DNA sequence: GAAGAATTACTCGGATACTGCGTGTCCGAGTGTAACGGG
DNA sequence: CCCGTTACACTCGGACACGCAGTATCCGAGTAATTCTTC
C-alpha cells in the first residue's frame, strides 16, 4: 500500500508554478522537463488537479496550466485527494456479518459500526488532519529556508525573464 | 491507494482467536469459515502474522494457529505492518534532483531532506502513532460493549465445549 | 498601412496499450494421530 | 492386555496462475497566434 508517484509529481509541479510566479500558463512539456518526468503521464495528473479546482488549463498556442489559487489555500490533503481520489485507506467489507460466526449474531449487533472499522478510521482521520493542516505554502517556505534561490532557478530553467 | 483486504481479515481472525480463548490451535479452514473467507488466501495472511510474531503455528493433525501473545500487546500498527509490510505510504523518488530545475541546483541544496517528503512524513507519522496507540484488546472491548456475547458465539461457531 | 480571413502551429483532453502488484488457488513437505499386529 | 510399528489423515508452507489498478503512451479536437491577401 503506497501512494502513486502522481502525488509527488503534482506537489513539485504546483511548487514550481508558485516559484515561477506571474499568471502566465506553462505547458506540460516544460513542467515535465523541469524534473525529467513523462509529459503525457504528467498531463494526466494535471487534468485531475484541474477537475479538483487546483489548476486552470489554457488551451491553444501559448497555453498550459496555471495556479487556480495561491498555495496558502492549497493543503496537502487537497493534492492527495485530487490525484488519488477520496476513497478511504481502509475499506471495511463487513466480513463480520458473513460465515458461521456472522450468521450467529443477531441483526441488532450490526446496528453499531464495525469496531475494527472505527479504530482504523481514527488513524485515518489523524492522517487526513495532519495533511489538511499543512499547506503547500508551508512546504514552499520550508524549502526556501534551506535554499533561497529556488524562484530564480525555476524562472531560469523555464526561460522566463 | 488503499490497504489490502488482508488487514481486515487478520484483525477479525485475531479477535476471534481471542474470543475463543484457550491455547488450542485452530486450523485455517475453521477460521476462514467463521467469516466466509478464502481458506488458502487467509492462510497466506496468517503466515505473515507468524513471521511477525503475532501468531504461532502448529503443524500436523489437530494443528492450526494460536495467539502468540495477548491482544493487549498487539497494536493495530503491528497487524498492518505484519500484513502490508513496513514500507512508507509516500515514497519520495527525489525527482527534485532531476531535470532542468534539479540540474540548476547546487548539491548543497540536497543535503537537507526534501520538504515534500518531510511534510508527507509528518502525516504518516500521525497515522502510525494513532495505529500504535490502539491495541486489539481495545477493539475487542469496544465490540463487547455493544454485543457482549461474542465469545459465546465464536465458541459455538467453532464447535468448542 | 490597416483590417480581415485563411492557415499554421501548438496545447489540452481523452481514448488506448502495457506492467506490476494484489488477489486467489493449488500441491507438496512435515507431523501428530490412529489403527494394526505382535509379544 | 500392553507396546512398538506402520500407515494414514490432517495441517502448514511455499510455489504457481489470474485480474485489476496504476503506469505509460499516443492521437484527435480546439484555440490562439501568425501570415497572407485585399482594400
**Strand C closer than 7 Å to the CB of B59?**
yes
Task: Tell me the C-alpha to C-alpha distance, in Å, between residue A82 and each of A16, A63, A78, B10, B87.
Answer: 18, 22, 6, 31, 23
Whether B92 contacts chain A with CB within 8 A? yes
Cβ neighbours for B84, distance < 8 A, ≥ 6 positions apart: A1, B3, B4, B6, B7
Question: Above pLDDT 70, what percent of chain A?
Answer: 99
Is the pLDDT assigned to residue B159 strictly greater than 90? Answer: no
Question: Which tens digit of pLDDT belongs to each residue from B55-113?
Answer: 999 999 999 999 999 999 999 999 999 999 999 999 999 999 999 999 999 998 999 99
Question: Would you say A89 and B1 are in contact if contact means Cβ atoms under 8 Å apart?
Answer: yes
Is B161 a residue whose pLDDT tops 70? no
pLDDT by residue (tens digit) across A30-43?
A: 999 999 999 999 99
The answer for A 28-57 residues in CB contact with B (under 8 A) is 32-37
Answer whether B143 sits within 8 Å of A115, measured CB to CB: yes
C-alpha cell at A73: 489555500
- Non-local (6+) Cβ contacts of B115 within 8 A are A139, A140, A142, A143, A146
Residues 34-73, chain A: which have Cβ under 7 A from strand C? Answer: 40, 43-44, 46-47, 50, 57-65
Q: Is the separation of the CB atoms in B11 and B136 below 8 Å?
A: yes
B132: contact with A, CB 8 A cutoff: no
Contact between A109 and B146 using a beta-carbon 8 Å cutoff: yes
Nucleotide nearest to B30 in CA–C1' terms: D11
Find the CB nearest B134 among A32, A122, A154: A122
> Using an 8 Å Cβ cutoff, are A136 and A14 in contact?
yes
Q: What angle do CA B132, B134, B140 make, to 5 degrees?
A: 140
According to the model, what pLDDT value does residue A160 have?
76
- pLDDT attached to residue A57: 97
The sign of the torsion formed by the CA atoms of B35, B39, B42, B46 equals positive
Helix, strand, or coil (residue B54) = coil
Number of domains in chain A: 1
Q: How far is B1 from chain A (nearest CA, A)?
A: 6
Cβ-Cβ pairs closer than 8 A, A with B, add up to 195
B148 inside 8 A of chain A by CB: no
**What would the mean pLDDT of A11-24 be, rounded to a whole number?**
96
**Tens-digit pLDDT profile for residues B2-44:** 999 999 999 999 999 999 998 999 999 999 999 999 999 999 9
CATH code at position B68: 1.10.10.10
**What pLDDT shows up at residue A161?**
61
> What's the domain range around B121?
5-157
Q: Give the closest nucleotide to B41 (alpha carbon vs C1').
A: C24
Q: How far apart (Å, rounded) are the C-alpha atoms in residues B128 and B150?
A: 29
Q: Which of B76, B109, B116 sits opposite A139 (nearest CB)?
A: B116
Nearest CA in chain A to B98: A35
**Residue A44: pLDDT over 70:** yes
CA dihedral B75, B77, B80, B82 (to 10 degrees): -80
Nucleic strand D within 7 A of Cβ B6: no
Amino acid at each position: 500500500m503506497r501512494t502513486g508517484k502522481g502525488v509527488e509529481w503534482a506537489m513539485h509541479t504546483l511548487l514550481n508554478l508558485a516559484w515561477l510566479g506571474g499568471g502566465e500558463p506553462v505547458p506540460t512539456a516544460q513542467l515535465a522537463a523541469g524534473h525529467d518526468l513523462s509529459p503525457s503521464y504528467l498531463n494526466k495528473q494535471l487534468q485531475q488537479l484541474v477537475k479538483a479546482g487546483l489548476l486552470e488549463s489554457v488551451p491553444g498556442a501559448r497555453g498550459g496550466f496555471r495556479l487556480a489559487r495561491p498555495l496558502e489555500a492549497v493543503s496537502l490533503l487537497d493534492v492527495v485527494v485530487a490525484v488519488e481520489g477520496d476513497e478511504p485507506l481502509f475499506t471495511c467489507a463487513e466480513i463480520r456479518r458473513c460465515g458461521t460466526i456472522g450468521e450467529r449474531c443477531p441483526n441488532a449487533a450490526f446496528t453499531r459500526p464495525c469496531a475494527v472499522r472505527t479504530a482504523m478510521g481514527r488513524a485515518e482521520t489523524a492522517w487526513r488532519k495532519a495533511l489538511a493542516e499543512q499547506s503547500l505554502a508551508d512546504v514552499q517556505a520550508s524549502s526556501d529556508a534551506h535554499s533561497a534561490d529556488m524562484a530564480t532557478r525555476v524562472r531560469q530553467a523555464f526561460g522566463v525573464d
